Amino acid sequence: MEQNPNQKYEELTGNIKQEYKRYRKLFNKKEKTSKSFQLPFVPIIFQPKTTVPNLQEAIDYFQSLYSSELEKEEKLEEEKNNG
């Protein structure tokens, strides 16, 4: 069964008309564009850290504090013992 390509939609009948409708719906569908994903506002304190803090500096600082305190205590003890 050959169909006349110039046949008008109104002249189509039965199954052929339904198929035409279905294909017309398919081709007329517009693609939905995906919405861009936007993150909500997050305060800086809750944002993940991008760099690892240099803990060695803190360790050195507290070690120097501890050692200087020890030296002070030792000097005081020596002065007590000598004086």
**Mean pLDDT, the chain cut into blocks of 10 residues (83 residues total):** 71 82 81 72 80 84 92 90 80
Instruction: Give the per-residue pLDDT at 60.
Output: 93
Q: Which residues contact 3 (CB under 8 A, 6 or more apart)?
A: 16
pTM score, two decimals? 0.32
